[in-house]
């Protein structure tokens, strides 16, 4: 995908003078008030490292700087070059990434490192063009532009979420930013404003502007170097931008997280399939639970309505349960083993709520203790299906496995 060609100044809601002075005012502000100590910044070096910029840009997608900083330091300690990252085992990378969320980024990072290592072997250098970077797994137009501008000191344009917020306010762009027409308009404006020289410095300044002053809530307009020409500020409508269609309420899913434990306190951990949520990470076995209305359920002897039941519908069972979880669920039923809640709270008040991009996930920890004979039987079933699993205590699992943040929450309950 290529960045759009800039449209004429007459189609922007700003004067030619405002457009022409945007970059100088922003760069003057950045020189005195911007951030100059982030470990991946390359604007103060004559020999930029695109690997560092690529790594940081992938991490910063959907994640704030303060969260990324320790992860970035750890990655650089363990994988100082792209070749080191490409050669690393996935489990090591997953363990380094665990807790930062949006795990597809980590899978793309590993795949992208392998691609980059091959390119360097063939050509002797990192990709030198926008198209070359966009061909790398997980790299979109804005990330590619950032790498070109900051990682190679060439011309590059960025238009990420922070930039879109700044531009929609400054030029009062009323279109829904999730629509392609608005995206095209924003890219055109970003391209018009980006100077041919120092585009890397400009990109970093735009990121700082969106991250420190022109923030989502309570923007600090008084310190903004662009306020004199910001139309939204002049109209007192900063919070009306960017325009974005209201999201539908997220649906909720409910699961039992099974703590299957032996007499020594070791717990069964499963490696998640590469595709889907938490791909390649380690998790407790899950039982997806179907929420049912009280009127649809029989009442117990105490005349209290049941709140939920483990899903048994064949279609749902196959789609929601991994193969390993199906084997474990069937095995528990065959052996009349019943997991008991770790706490007495109802599922609606489960101690673990984990919000993902498309839904909220309520996780109810439940424990079942098994003996050595039962463990051997379960191991045989899982081995026969080529399932990756381990028996580890809570602390050892936390130290040695790549665990999603939700799993860490559960073992801390």
DSSP state of 200: H
Q: Which residue has the tokens 């673990």?
A: 352
10 DSSP β-pair partners: none
Phi, psi angles (nearest 5°) of residue 172: 45, 60
**Helix, coil or strand: residue 284:** coil
- CB-based contact 256:366 (threshold 8 Å): yes
User: C-alpha distances in angstroms, 37 versus 32, 40, 42, 79, 111?
Assistant: 13, 9, 10, 21, 29
Q: Alpha helices, DSSP H only, in 103-230? A: 104-123, 130-134, 141-146, 161-171, 180-193, 199-208
Residue of 31, 57, 191, 318 marked active site: 57
318 catalytic? Reply is: no
Burial class (CB in 10 A: 0-12, 13-18, 19+), 260: buried
- The secondary structure of 148-173, three-state, reads HHHHCCCCCCCCCHHHHHHHHHHHCC
CA distance 197 to 190: 14
260 DSSP β-pair partners: 368
- CB-based contact 208:158 (threshold 8 Å): no
Q: Alpha helices, DSSP H only, in 61-128? A: 65-78, 82-87, 90-97, 104-123
CA distance 398 to 392: 9
Within 10 angstroms of residue 121's Cβ, the number of other Cβ atoms is: 9
DSSP state of 263: T
259 DSSP β-pair partners: 367
Which residues belong to the active site? 57
């Amino acid at each position: 995908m290529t960045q759009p060609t800039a449209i004429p100044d007459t189609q922007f809601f700003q004067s030619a003078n405002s457009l022409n002075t945007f970059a100088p005012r922003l760069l003057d502000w950045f020189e005195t008030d911007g951030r100059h100590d982030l470990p991946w910044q390359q604007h103060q070096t004559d020999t930029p490292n695109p690997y560092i910029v690529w790594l940081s840009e992938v991490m910063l997608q959907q994640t704030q700087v303060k969260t990324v900083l320790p992860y970035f330091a750890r990655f650089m300690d363990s994988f100082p070059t792209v070749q080191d990252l490409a050669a690393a085992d996935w489990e090591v990378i997953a363990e380094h990434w665990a807790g930062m969320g949006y795990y597809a980024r980590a899978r793309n990072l590993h795949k992208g490192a392998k691609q980059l290592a091959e390119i360097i072997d063939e050509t002797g250098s990192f990709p030198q063009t926008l198209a070359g970077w966009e061909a790398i797994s997980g790299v979109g137009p804005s990330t590619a532009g950032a790498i070109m501008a900051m990682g190679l000191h060439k011309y590059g344009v960025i238009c990420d979420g922070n930039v879109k917020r700044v531009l929609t306010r400054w030029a009062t762009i009323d279109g829904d930013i999730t629509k392609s027409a608005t995206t095209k308009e924003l890219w055109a404006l970003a391209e018009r404003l980006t100077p041919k020289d120092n585009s890397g410095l400009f990109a970093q300044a735009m990121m700082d502007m969106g991250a420190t002053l022109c923030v989502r809530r309570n923007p600090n307009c008084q310190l903004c170097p662009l306020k004199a020409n910001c139309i939204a500020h002049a109209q007192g409508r900063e919070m009306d931008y960017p325009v974005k269609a209201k999201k539908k309420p997220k649906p909720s899913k409910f699961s039992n997280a099974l703590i299957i434990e032996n007499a020594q306190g070791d717990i069964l951990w499963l490696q998640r399939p590469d595709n889907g949520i938490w791909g390649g990470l380690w998790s407790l076995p899950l039982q997806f639970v179907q929420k049912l209305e009280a009127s649809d359920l029989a009442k117990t002897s105490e005349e209290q309505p049941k709140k939920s039941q483990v899903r048994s519908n064949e279609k749902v069972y196959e789609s929601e349960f991994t193969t390993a979880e199906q084997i474990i669920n069937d095995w528990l039923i065959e052996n009349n083993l019943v997991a008991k809640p770790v706490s007495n709270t109802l599922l609606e008040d489960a101690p673990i709520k984990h919000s993902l991009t498309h839904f909220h996930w309520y996780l109810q920890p439940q424990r079942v203790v098994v003996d050595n004979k039962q463990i051997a039987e379960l191991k045989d079933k899982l081995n026969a299906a080529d399932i990756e699993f381990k028996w580890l205590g809570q602390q050892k699992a936390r130290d040695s496995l790549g665990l999603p943040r939700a799993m860490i929450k559960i073992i801390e309950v």
